[in-house]
Amino acid sequence: MNNKNKKGISAVVATVLIILITVAAITIVWAAIIPMINNQLDQGTLCLDAVSQLSLMDAGYTCVDGNELSLQIKKGATNFELADIQVLISSGGNVESFSLLNDTTTLVPASITLAHLPDANEEKVYRINVADIIAGGTIDSVKIAPVVKVGNTQEICSVSSSKTLLAC
């Protein structure tokens, strides 16, 4: 038998092919995983900024008068895109939540438009009719949680501020 007629790839060519396949596989996995990691980091950073910069002020305007809740909300100097504010109302052990921008029917007077959330270093007072939300109970406390825009989605962050309410 003559072994010289058999053809095959050399060890050098096989090693180069294995290295190229490995590099291509790492590149594909890297391209898929890095955007996911970046999105998670962006979300964490934005929520951290939003939670630290959005607060309920206790300067006499955050109070309750019957079925009308008054909230004085302040946004700090850090620049982040505030998409909405989630309000959580505690009444008799139950917590009801609603969005300031999406639930505009609860605002008093109806002419208030919430397209103007607080800008940097700004405070705004929102008066909200909560008769339908608390159903005859009394409001114990209120909390707010910022909603930030991350890419094409909106993320609800942790509660940034809470107050036990007093009568106006």
Kindly give the confidence (pLDDT) of every residue in the chain, 168 residues in length, as a single tens digit, with 9 standing for 90 and above: 556 666 667 888 889 999 999 999 999 988 888 877 776 766 667 888 888 999 998 877 888 887 788 889 999 988 888 888 998 988 878 888 888 876 544 554 444 444 578 888 898 888 888 777 766 677 888 999 999 887 788 888 889 888 988 888
**133-139: which pairs have CB atoms within 8 A and are 24 or more residues apart?**
133/89, 133/91, 133/96, 133/98, 133/106, 134/67, 134/89, 134/91, 134/96, 137/91, 137/92, 137/94, 138/64, 138/91, 138/92, 139/64, 139/69, 139/89, 139/90, 139/91, 139/165
Which sequence spans correspond to the domains of the chain?
A: 51-164
- From 3.90.1150.10, 3.30.930.10, 2.60.40.10, 3.40.640.10, which CATH number describes the 51-164 domain? 2.60.40.10
What is the pTM for the complete model shown?
0.68
